[in-house]
Structure 1
């Protein structure tokens, strides 16, 4: 993939556009909520809901946002064992602080997403189409990106044990701020930007992919 001057282009992420006042609301499947504040506990089913200009705080076992539409939403200090957002549509979503066991964004359509100061055991963006994503100050045990289409994605001060990029289609994806112990497939990193040190770490994986035997 040809690189232009100034590549990689940084993600264009802006904070959610939120009102000055919110009305309290209860979660329900298929809800249509505008300017709402949700305080969630236990199990919260918001699958296939539409949330616009909302603020969410959650200490839950399950926060189900499967197939939901989120526009200008701020999620703060979340504690969730599981947070499925499969096939969700996200625009200007910010998740700040807390810990999530499984954050499943597979198949999602994403336009402006910020993840900041989070601990995530398993982050799945497989098959997602995402533009303008910033992940900062996060610890991600396993990051899966198979068949994802990512444009203008950046990492700042992040760590991960394992990254699976198989089938990744990347444009302006900057991995220099991601300290990863292992990438499962270096050949799928076309279109990304790495530091010299990261490339040196990946050399054995790259050699294996090219059929090169390394012996000292």
Structure 2
């Protein structure tokens, strides 16, 4: 079969595969959780979650170094949801109000982030592929030194996007209404609309050393 020539290539993303029935459980640091429904709590670092659902409110959630396979996080309400250095495959974060969603240094495949309000989304130095961010209000999106492959934004808004050192292949930004990109030279490999390019034209000109005057 011939490979698709569509550009940018859409993310190859699917929702987590969850069983019909989940057992209620309490999460724990370094825990091994399979097929469970777990309330979000402060210390879940380095735990493993497979086919699990997490939800609820917490003062802060530490999932640093965790492994998540076929997991959903529903209606999270927390000032910090840290997935720093996590290993993720098929994670859906749906709804909720999150102050900082920290995915810095994470290895991410098949992430769906939808219908959420996030003040600060950090993907610094993350490797993220086949991911969809849709219907989200984002204040700051942090992408320095990230590698983004087949990542798409749909119906999202952001005040500022830090793209310094970004490496992109199939990064679709057409659905991200952003007020500012900190480094437009790092947008190589990304897709924008003609309108977005028009709005960024003065910034592109300055980056190319062009003096624009009326």
- Aligned: 1:31 with 2:31: yes
Task: State how far apart, in whole Å, the 2-side matches of 1:145 and 1:50 are.
Answer: 26
Query: Which residue number in structure 2 is paired with residue 202 of structure 1?
Result: 200
Task: State how far apart, in whole Å, the 2-side matches of 1:44 and 1:13 are.
Answer: 29
Compare 21-30 and 99-108 and name the one that shifted more: 21-30
Q: Is the 8 A contact 2:27 2:33 kept in 1?
A: no
RMSD across aligned positions (CA): 1.0
Task: State how far apart, in whole Å, the 1-side matches of 2:12 and 2:159 are.
Answer: 27
Higher strand fraction: Structure 1 or Structure 2?
Answer: 1
What aligned pairs does 1:1-216 form with structure 2 within 5 A after superposition? 5-40=5-40, 43-216=41-214
| Runs of 4+ in structure 1 over 6 Å off | none
Deviation of the 1:44 alpha carbon: 2.0
Task: State how far apart, in whole Å, the 2-side matches of 1:215 and 1:5 are.
Answer: 40
> 1:107 is paired with a residue of what secondary structure?
coil
**Aligned length in residues:** 211
Task: State how far apart, in whole Å, the 1-side matches of 2:100 and 2:44 are.
Answer: 16
1:26-52 C-alpha deviation (Å, 9 max, x unpaired)? 121111000010123xx4211000000
TM-score, normalization by structure 1:
0.96
Give 5+ residue unaligned stretches, structure 1: none
Task: State how far apart, in whole Å, the 2-side matches of 1:72 and 1:124 are.
Answer: 22
> 1:205 is paired with a residue of what secondary structure?
helix
> 1:44 is paired with a residue of what secondary structure?
coil
Q: Is the 8 A contact 1:37 1:54 kept in 2?
A: yes
TM-score, normalization by structure 2:
0.96
1:99-151 C-alpha deviation (Å, 9 max, x unpaired)? 10000100000110000001000000010011101000001000010010110
Task: State how far apart, in whole Å, the 2-side matches of 1:205 and 1:60 are.
Answer: 41
Deviation of the 1:5 alpha carbon: 3.4
Give 5+ residue unaligned stretches, structure 2: none
Task: State how far apart, in whole Å, the 2-side matches of 1:57 and 1:174 are.
Answer: 29
Task: State how far apart, in whole Å, the 2-side matches of 1:88 and 1:201 are.
Answer: 36
Q: Is the 8 A contact 1:87 1:107 kept in 2?
A: yes
> 2:42 is paired with a residue of what secondary structure?
strand
> 2:116 is paired with a residue of what secondary structure?
strand
